[in-house]
Amino acid sequence: MWETGEQQAAAMLPRLEQEHGLRLHLIRRFERGDEGAYLVEDSAGRRLVLKRRPWHEDAAEASGPTARRLARMRQRGCPIPEEVAAGRVGESLFELQEFAEGSPVDELTEDTLRQLIDVVRTQRGAGLGAGWDWWEFLTDGLLRDRSPLCRPSVLDGCTGPAERLLTRLREQALDAAVPQQIPNDVVHFDFGPANLLTVDGRITAVLDWQACRDGDASYDLVTTDWDLMAWPKAESEIGEQLRHEIGRTTAPGATLVYAAHTVLRNLTWSHGTEWEGHIVSSGHAFLDRWATD
């Protein structure tokens, strides 16, 4: 019988105390967001967030650079919860963070958009100088699995509408003229309203930075634009303001690549599900938008 994620998290707690001196009480799994995130309480009654994921050598190696990137952005005022502890327990990586009050953004207002853009500004120039492979990572990622968040291999052999969209987005991205300079921003890579927490309209935390890397932070603006179009969360005027910011900060060729990559990511997770038709139609509309803007 398979253990649930909550059972696996509970089983970690004795080992966290034994191996890391962390005495924690499991309260619940968070209903939205990362499935491996749990609300816990320490011996002093302080509420914290415990995140777990399978141990993998690449993920373990990336944890150090990720921590340095996040520290830079915190210094710039980005509301990222502080890390309390992190490491390995058995076959899992764990991270213990401060608990941030707030709810995910269900509707993006003009004020929230301004704050979102301010968050992305803290990402500008905060990289570690490792953005030299940014364009290769994205364009090669149109053909091969380069990230758990984008696995084009699941589309191998697809036919019909999915195949036509896949062909189109690859052609659009590979024909685009991308900038020659090496970007040095921090890219969240899974950015959007669902990973923002707010209290009374104020952004209190930006969550789920596990996939972050050096690159062009405008990618995160494009994924947000997709989110607003595919799953409407804002008035049309708000979307227009976001697209103005993308046009102001992003080279046209880069935007075409980001739009194509974003559509591909969504096509991979929706393939074979009830959402595939919606993603295909939304994907063509999104490619139309950035091919003509």
Same domain, 39 and 177: no
Same domain, 175 and 235: yes
- Report pLDDT digits (tens) over 71-119: 999 999 999 999 999 999 988 889 999 999 999 898 999 999 999 999 9
Same domain, 9 and 88: yes
Same domain, 218 and 126: yes
Q: What is the CATH number of the domain that holds 67?
A: 3.30.200.20
Select the more confidently predicted residue: 2 or 37. 37
Same domain, 120 and 19: no
| Predicted local confidence at residue 3, as pLDDT | 56
Domain boundary among 98, 123, 148: 98
Domain boundary among 77, 98, 119: 98
- Report pLDDT digits (tens) over 236-271: 999 999 999 999 999 999 999 999 999 999 999 999
- Report pLDDT digits (tens) over 176-215: 999 999 999 999 999 999 899 999 999 999 999 999 999 9
Please report, for residues 148, 208, 225, the alpha-carbon distance to residue 200 in angstroms, rounded to integers and kept in the order given.
34, 21, 23
Chain position carrying tokens 């062009």 = 216
Same domain, 63 and 195: no
Same domain, 107 and 55: no
Domain count, the chain: 2
| Predicted local confidence at residue 91, as pLDDT | 87
Q: Whole-angstrom Cα distance, residue 215 to residue 156?
A: 28
| Predicted local confidence at residue 35, as pLDDT | 54
| Predicted local confidence at residue 1, as pLDDT | 39
Residues in the chain: 293
Closest CA to 165 of 95, 75, 256, 263: 263
| Predicted local confidence at residue 34, as pLDDT | 47
Same domain, 84 and 117: no
Q: Whole-angstrom Cα distance, residue 229 to residue 54?
A: 33
Please report, for residues 17, 27, 31, 61, the alpha-carbon distance to residue 6 in angstroms, rounded to integers and kept in the order given.
17, 10, 11, 26
pLDDT greater than 80 at residue 4 = no
Q: What is the CATH number of the domain that holds 241?
A: 3.90.1200.10
Same domain, 71 and 153: no
- Residues forming beta bridges with residue 150, ordered by sequence position: 147
Residue range(s) defining the domain that contains residue 62: 5-98
- Report pLDDT digits (tens) over 27-46: 999 876 545 799 999 999 99
The per-residue DSSP string of 178-239 comes to --SSPP-EEE-SS-SGGGEEEETTEEEEE---TT-EEE-THHHHHHHHHHHHHS--S-HHHH
Domain boundary among 98, 121, 148: 98
Q: Whole-angstrom Cα distance, residue 116 to residue 168?
A: 30
Same domain, 198 and 74: no
pLDDT greater than 90 at residue 54 = no
**Averaged pLDDT of the chain:** 93
| Predicted local confidence at residue 32, as pLDDT | 61
Same domain, 251 and 147: yes
Same domain, 229 and 286: yes
